[in-house]
Structure 1
């Protein structure tokens, strides 16, 4: 989860905050009811009240949300912001709202429950004809040159090779994974090719389907292509927009998708690129064909996070919808604990009963206690 410091860093992103502040000021009218989805420390809630909102429902699973009442009181609006601590997917809306404002993106909008949370809030919280902030995100791709990013990755398998060991498996895993450019931010001159949008998320209509797009890019200069970069362009409201493209140092950064090996390219060379991703951003695939002016292939790569994820046959089997699961020892323990949450027993009583066979100093006992505490945090009310 994000820390309070993380939220502070996001709020210090002046490009992002200026766009959201202007969008909220324009969309929120006197008397509006607003949902701040993924509210964090409540900066959007405060901006909505300033714009005239009669009431703001601030929703977040992060404990940082508990700072919002104090911040609201300190700014004289303690009676206008209602706190809902928990997953927005599980909270029953007390009323419908005129405006939903959110920014739960990671490096891209395809991040955990971001998209599903917006879809759910759109269906259950938003009045007919209500406003979504942001309105739309477009995903872009371009070929980039970055020896810093590439070398930073290659060190991970070269450390094995320097000691005389082969590390093909580690190399395959790293080069079939997506990486943030945080360690060596991409700049405008890092881009070797034309760039193009390959997918669009229109938040008023997006249904949660996986995204796929194919683009043809042309090299604009000579250089060494180390991989692809993916970023997004946000339409926040009306004509208010910003992008996380190379050269813009926003809070999000960009993705770097390395090639299996660097490729020297010339001005006028082309790249045929197909990208696929699920709505949570858990699974990515990127296929790239690089060609010279004659049309002859220089390189062809088929890559995916599936190939980059170390796994076992048993793990793959568990991912199948045809798998017939049974509870593990830990799962059985959790099931027994959850059955005990009937409102009549203290956690200590339950813990004592479930650890009765463990010695007081047993590490296993400590593990069970931590599991119970985690379950209380997640599932109790």
Structure 2
């Protein structure tokens, strides 16, 4: 037994008292006081430094000063951002997070800056961490949903839901591995599915690379969850940077990839395969096939055709001669940033993408499809010679009369000799088609006897298609330069004389300078209904203001001050200025776009002094919404309320609250209110585009739980008129946003909807009736609207029968609308 005297004695110990440091305390106190004083003087940079010093010296004050510190940080960050001091901005956030590493508000704010600067992966990490700190934090949740659309694009879900596509890839990979391709590299692995197929087929060594940090981490999770964590080596790297033996120990015998976009080459597959053949793949050996490298897909055939499509036309060129009482003849050459020519232009995109089968109004094929290109991915010499291929000139007989709006392409992807995938417009596929808009054929119609000349080239590893000429009656009409009015000749006109006149005009040197508008801005410019409604609204407002001034015996000829803070290009300020006695301020910033408005003002006899370009890109609402002068208030303020994608703009209600304070008596915000409408629908397509569906693993792999973390509840850029869906109810008013009357607004509303048909409610598409002034209204569901629609996709479909009542709970938080649905068991009176 141990000696009892060796046991420790439990006596009371005297706690050493912390010695106060008067100098330190005085420094902390004076720094906090100085921070408050600097804050009062709006010297945010100095205040931030004082807070850093005080809180680092005395962390005990962190909770006390947290709100003031946040406010100081955000105001100082705004200043640094406006000065372009981006590195200093992020340094301040890093210092702030050293003090408050778990502050969800600071994490979210830094994520917003990162996302706006283009650092999407890093932004997502901050939003995700903020949600971990506070799962009910709505700003972080909304931001994460927005960034999730960028990080994991919706086609990932469609692709994983496409069983036919997945099985064909699996068969091709299985056959290659079984024939001796034992080492495999998956380039652009995404979720890791193709690499896992190779391992499951029996490959000895599988490597995969992924550039996106988000997708790399997702692939690591998926591979590990499927028991292949130590069997597939996933590398966070671009394949072009990979070397043997630094990154992988050996050259591989098989490369699998799906780095193709709607235009086939847009994701850099040519460059990555050339690099792979020279650095990562076993070389081709005809004499020894077992030691030969190969690629899946083995190659592709590209098809193209010319088409007429009003929806494409209105997004890429000016289609109207006047809007809102303004003649647009002086606009000059306006076009979208999508323009393809035989000479590459870095400032323009060669093509855009559309799902032709879903375009509102449809399309008309003007020629038969033709083969534009064949490419063998297993022939490195052919890949290297692609960009130096001579331009291919193809004459296409016109098979249908109509206006030439675009060329469209799709392709057949040859995985191996027996398996292929088609991205054609009639196929049920996760791919869209590539669209090459035509800008220079306004009012020019192709005829049945015409032949269209198309040039095909790949000069910068992008597939480029240009419609350059039309052969008519033995004469060649060039289309690859701005043309005069090539209208169809009337019954009494000589077609030959008209053709000669057109050709003579084309010899004239035209101004090559043109103004670029975004596709949505071009569609807005072509929206006659919207501008006509706005013209009627401002006319009505100014008439009432003049009458009110007369009744008050005030000067009825006094100027009205109008502010337009629309995003991007807008004619609203000019339409207001055309009313007379108006001083209009425009938010248009780009010099060329300002020149277009100035030309329109001159050609429409609007005095130069009536229009001013005032807003210089400031993001501070206090700076944007100012008085026109110290003694004046605004007669009208135009707010851009709805994003093109179909969502209400962020911070709309905050801007509206500020704008109301700056209106003169009788002045108005345009629009004055927004009414949200919606409908119950059953749409399998929306489910397929929103999440991996079903309980069955994809090709036997457990992928859905991981990628479905990036499911977002709202589907945007939706064309409701062409959505594959079953309507289960009539449209119903969901919510009202009153921009003029604060007291009329609410944050939550319950709406009872009666099902008109039996089915599964999978989504609630919604759109807006935008009331500009009193009863003058435009709808974002209009056929000619430049806006798209959005839809809330339910996490679990709701079974309903015709006659059932469904209760929708609609919430608004900082301009973000959320909707939940459940069956309503309460009795309702008969209709």
User: What's the TM-score once normalised by structure 1's chain length?
Assistant: 0.70
- In the alignment, structure 1 residue 273 sits paired with structure 2 residue 422: no
Which structure would you say has the larger Rg? Answer: 2
- In the alignment, structure 1 residue 171 sits paired with structure 2 residue 352: no
Among 139, 153, 156, the alignment partner of 2:302 is 139
Identify which range, 70-79 or 81-90, moves more after superposition.
Answer: 70-79
- In the alignment, structure 1 residue 104 sits paired with structure 2 residue 104: no
- In the alignment, structure 1 residue 88 sits paired with structure 2 residue 236: no
Identify the residue that residue 218 of structure 2 maps to in structure 1: 67
Deviations 1:121-171 (A, max 9, x none): 122111231221111122322111211211233369979897556432433
Identify the residue that residue 474 of structure 2 maps to in structure 1: 295
Distance 1:248 1:309 in 2: 37
Which structure carries more strand by proportion? 1
Identify the residue that residue 278 of structure 2 maps to in structure 1: 123
Q: What is the alpha-carbon root mean square deviation over aligned residues? A: 3.4
> Where does the alignment leave 5 or more consecutive residues of structure 1 unmatched?
311-362, 364-381
Deviations 1:99-122 (A, max 9, x none): 100111122222243211111112
Residues 218, 271 of structure 1: 8 Å contact kept:
yes
Deviation at 1:239, TM superposition (A): 2.8
Deviations 1:226-248 (A, max 9, x none): 22112222211113222222323
Residues 355, 425 of structure 2: 8 Å contact kept:
no
Residues 268 and 49 of structure 1, relative CA distance in 2, 3 Å threshold: farther
Residues 193, 217 of structure 1: 8 Å contact kept:
yes
**Structure 2 counterpart SS, 1:25:** helix
Distance 1:78 1:20 in 2: 22
**Structure 2 counterpart SS, 1:121:** helix
Residues 318, 335 of structure 2: 8 Å contact kept:
no
Identify the residue that residue 384 of structure 2 maps to in structure 1: 207
Residues 116 and 290 of structure 1, relative CA distance in 2, 3 Å threshold: same
Residues 161 and 216 of structure 1, relative CA distance in 2, 3 Å threshold: farther
> Where does the alignment leave 5 or more consecutive residues of structure 2 unmatched?
1-119, 121-149, 284-291, 341-348, 483-511, 517-619, 621-831
**Structure 2 counterpart SS, 1:72:** helix
Q: How many residues align?
A: 307
Distance 2:239 2:515 in 1: 30
Distance 2:299 2:206 in 1: 22
Deviation at 1:224, TM superposition (A): 3.0
Identify the residue that residue 180 of structure 1 maps to in structure 2: 352
Distance 1:159 1:201 in 2: 46
Deviation at 1:174, TM superposition (A): 5.2
- In the alignment, structure 1 residue 41 sits paired with structure 2 residue 191: yes
1:1-381 correspondence to structure 2 within 5 Å:
3-6=151-154, 7-29=156-178, 32-63=182-213, 64-93=215-244, 94-128=249-283, 129-154=292-317, 163-164=326-327, 166-171=330-335, 178-182=350-354, 185=357, 190-205=364-379, 206-207=383-384, 209-210=386-387, 211=389, 212-259=391-438, 260-261=440-441, 263-281=444-462, 284=464, 286-292=466-472, 294-297=473-476, 299-302=477-480
